[in-house]
Chain A
């Protein structure tokens, strides 16, 4: 039970983690992150890499949709921009991989600024449609600008190398992707401790009074689009190094919906929500597959019988979350925290 958090200074109260249990959990989490490549099998490491890429992209989308209230269905297209940027730079110029990934983020952010322009005039579903339009235009560009993208046959690229070591295996790629995920999530959390993050939430909650408080709407909406696209670009760049081939179908429109579903399931407008949602959406189909595999010991032909069921169960889980837990997985975490705050006394 926590009786109170007695802070003696304002900086202590403004810290990201304010209670002892939070710090303990964070320590455990960090140890798990570092230990993972030594413990997990190759396949699960691949899934961890994929989950972290999705965490980065979902966190970016959460800044835009969850915190700023601008619905976007273009996140996958921005990931593709990042991936193609990395592929092009790696193939044509052979620049260092860190620079390539950053360039992917920056170029995606620049395109995000343009795509964000309609947001001053249109809101909600209309803005969502505008972002869909943008992502189909980008898809067209990927297919037809063959000089850069190699068109439908796709662009293959060499693995990232650091001091002559090729980051070709998942345990090595993990050390490329994990720091990016940690840094970007931490940065997003920091954003909402400052005036910039507050301005985003103000625009989401009540844009007119945000303007009276001296928040220029267009500048902040565009900033939010740029941040979301930057995160998507970085995620796409990492994705390119993970799969080493980028085609126009690598980031289908469905990925945008997948990411939107991730932040809804995880909890819109919370940093933890982006993480939990992306991990849940990436790993649940795999966990269900493991269940099917276990079942096939007892039931012959389980794989053929149960794999369609797997998709249905996954869909049902998402629908169930929307109905039973509309504020997402973070709400479950909060409820557990509230329970232990008063434990062993009952409310």
Chain B
């Protein structure tokens, strides 16, 4: 069913809200089966990039290309069906449901049960649900070590576990590209290490392309194959963790150059545009 990892290209994406330019000609590529991190200071446009990729925002200019197919104008549900899955910065689980049902929802777009079959829970509906239950249990719940909470309501879980359930739900979508918005935000070190292990395992065992936005530099430098740095909506550096780490522009974006003239110039440029 799964068609293997996909390559994701963000090509010259520009996004404006009124006069505010959230993204300016941003381009990067996530190679199939790799981990790409998108980093940058607060307000750099990281989540905007994600929202363009998943289809919440329609870019003012530029294209989103999934495995050679331009999906810029495709609606979010149809993008999900093409294998694009995401987790949210502020967890977006369904609080009225159990962990198991949350995860099962990930598969929604791939299932075929219609209303009449569902009403009688007969034939195809029963088979499909049972096959899904088996797969969710054996491939996802075991894999992410959440079997002890499967029947709990997600609202009673700790933050770290909720993040893990969200990852589980994204995995149930059989993603070809998995987008993780701050997967370890607000986690303690132990939880962060667990999550890092799971992300690497997903890459190894599921062979999924992973794109993540993250502030935890330790995690980013440790597990990504490729890092893209955004600042004020522009890509200012791109490359392996090592090259990005040593790039003076990146240090400047995070720390400032220490040169007051440069700051004045930048503000003037901002005002002019």
Interface residues of A (CB under 8 A from B): 10-11, 13-14, 187, 190-191, 193-199, 201-202, 204-206, 208-216, 223, 227, 269
**What residues of chain A lie closer than 8 Å to B93, measured between beta carbons?**
206, 209
Interface string of B76-114 (1 = CB under 8 A from A): 111011000110100011111100010011111101010
Contact call A195/B92, Cβ cutoff below 8 A: no
Question: What is the CB-to-nearest-CB distance from B8 to chain A, in angstroms, rounded to a whole number?
Answer: 16
A252 to B47, CA, bound (A): 50
Question: What is the CB-to-nearest-CB distance from A331 to chain B, in angstroms, rounded to a whole number?
Answer: 14
A205 to B101, CA, bound (A): 13
For B77, give the chain A residue with the smallest CB separation. Answer: A214
A196 to B88, CA, bound (A): 23
Contact call B80/A196, Cβ cutoff below 8 A: no
**What residues of chain A lie closer than 8 Å to B120, measured between beta carbons?**
187, 190
**What residues of chain A lie closer than 8 Å to B137, measured between beta carbons?**
10
Contact call A212/B96, Cβ cutoff below 8 A: no
Contact call B107/A201, Cβ cutoff below 8 A: no
Q: Does B118 touch A at the CB level, under 8 Å?
A: yes
For A197, give the chain B residue with the smallest CB separation. Answer: B118
Contact call B119/A191, Cβ cutoff below 8 A: yes
Contact of A194 among B86, B95, B109, B113 (CB under 8 A): B113
For B154, give the chain A residue with the smallest CB separation. Answer: A205
Interface residues of B (CB under 8 A from A): 54, 56, 76-78, 80-81, 85-86, 88, 92-97, 101, 104-109, 111, 113, 115, 117-121, 125-126, 128-130, 133-134, 137, 169, 173
**What residues of chain A lie closer than 8 Å to B121, measured between beta carbons?**
190, 193-194
**What residues of chain B lie closer than 8 Å to A216, measured between beta carbons?**
77
**What residues of chain A lie closer than 8 Å to B133, measured between beta carbons?**
10, 13-14
**What residues of chain A lie closer than 8 Å to B81, measured between beta carbons?**
214
The residue in A11, A196, A199 that gathers the most chain B C-beta atoms within 10 A of its C-beta is A196
Contact call A212/B134, Cβ cutoff below 8 A: no
Contact call B107/A195, Cβ cutoff below 8 A: yes
A202 to B173, CA, bound (A): 15
Contact call A206/B94, Cβ cutoff below 8 A: yes
**What residues of chain B lie closer than 8 Å to A208, measured between beta carbons?**
56, 92
Question: What is the CB-to-nearest-CB distance from B102 to chain A, in angstroms, rounded to a whole number?
Answer: 9
Contact call B54/A212, Cβ cutoff below 8 A: yes
A226 to B117, CA, bound (A): 16
Question: What is the CB-to-nearest-CB distance from B182 to chain A, in angstroms, rounded to a whole number?
Answer: 15
**What residues of chain A lie closer than 8 Å to B113, measured between beta carbons?**
194-196
Contact call B108/A214, Cβ cutoff below 8 A: yes
**What residues of chain B lie closer than 8 Å to A202, measured between beta carbons?**
94, 97, 105, 108
A211 to B169, CA, bound (A): 14
Between A and B, 26 residue pairs with Cβ closer than 8 Å are A10-B130, A10-B137, A11-B126, A190-B118, A190-B119, A190-B125, A191-B119, A193-B121, A194-B118, A194-B128, A195-B111, A198-B101, A198-B108, A199-B108, A201-B97, A202-B97, A205-B95, A205-B97, A209-B88, A212-B85, A212-B92, A213-B106, A213-B173, A214-B81, A216-B77, A269-B96
Given contacts A206-B93, A212-B76, 13 further A-B contacts (CB under 8 A): A10-B130, A191-B119, A194-B129, A195-B118, A196-B118, A198-B105, A205-B94, A205-B96, A208-B92, A210-B94, A213-B77, A213-B108, A227-B115
For B116, give the chain A residue with the smallest CB separation. Answer: A187
A199-B105, A212-B76, A214-B81 are known contacts. Are A194 and B97 too (CB-CB below 8 A)?
no
For A227, give the chain B residue with the smallest CB separation. Answer: B115
**What residues of chain A lie closer than 8 Å to B115, measured between beta carbons?**
191, 196, 223, 227
Contact call B106/A198, Cβ cutoff below 8 A: no
Contact call A212/B86, Cβ cutoff below 8 A: yes
**What residues of chain B lie closer than 8 Å to A206, measured between beta carbons?**
92-94
A187 to B96, CA, bound (A): 21
Contact call B96/A209, Cβ cutoff below 8 A: no
Question: What is the CB-to-nearest-CB distance from B95 to chain A, in angstroms, rounded to a whole number?
Answer: 6
Contact of A214 among B92, B94, B109 (CB under 8 A): B109
For B132, give the chain A residue with the smallest CB separation. Answer: A195
For A15, give the chain B residue with the smallest CB separation. Answer: B121
Question: What is the CB-to-nearest-CB distance from A255 to chain B, in angstroms, rounded to a whole number?
Answer: 25
Question: What is the CB-to-nearest-CB distance from A206 to chain B, in angstroms, rounded to a whole number?
Answer: 6
A191 to B113, CA, bound (A): 10
Question: What is the CB-to-nearest-CB distance from A123 to chain B, in angstroms, rounded to a whole number?
Answer: 17
Question: What is the CB-to-nearest-CB distance from B244 to chain A, in angstroms, rounded to a whole number?
Answer: 29
For A187, give the chain B residue with the smallest CB separation. Answer: B119
The residue in B95, B104, B129 that gathers the most chain A C-beta atoms within 10 A of its C-beta is B129
Question: What is the CB-to-nearest-CB distance from A107 to chain B, in angstroms, rounded to a whole number?
Answer: 17
**What residues of chain B lie closer than 8 Å to A227, measured between beta carbons?**
115
**What residues of chain B lie closer than 8 Å to A212, measured between beta carbons?**
54, 76, 80, 85-86, 92
A199 to B80, CA, bound (A): 14
Question: What is the CB-to-nearest-CB distance from A258 to chain B, in angstroms, rounded to a whole number?
Answer: 25
A196 to B39, CA, bound (A): 38
**What residues of chain B lie closer than 8 Å to A269, measured between beta carbons?**
96
Question: What is the CB-to-nearest-CB distance from B76 to chain A, in angstroms, rounded to a whole number?
Answer: 5
Contact of A191 among B78, B88, B118, B173 (CB under 8 A): B118
**What residues of chain A lie closer than 8 Å to B92, measured between beta carbons?**
206, 208-209, 212
Question: What is the CB-to-nearest-CB distance from B180 to chain A, in angstroms, rounded to a whole number?
Answer: 13
Contact call A211/B97, Cβ cutoff below 8 A: no
Contact call B88/A215, Cβ cutoff below 8 A: no
Contact call A213/B80, Cβ cutoff below 8 A: yes
Question: What is the CB-to-nearest-CB distance from B32 to chain A, in angstroms, rounded to a whole number?
Answer: 21
**What residues of chain A lie closer than 8 Å to B88, measured between beta carbons?**
209
A191-B119, A202-B94 are known contacts. Are A211 and B104 too (CB-CB below 8 A)?
no
Question: What is the CB-to-nearest-CB distance from A187 to chain B, in angstroms, rounded to a whole number?
Answer: 4
Question: What is the CB-to-nearest-CB distance from A165 to chain B, in angstroms, rounded to a whole number?
Answer: 29
A213 to B101, CA, bound (A): 13
Question: What is the CB-to-nearest-CB distance from B82 to chain A, in angstroms, rounded to a whole number?
Answer: 9
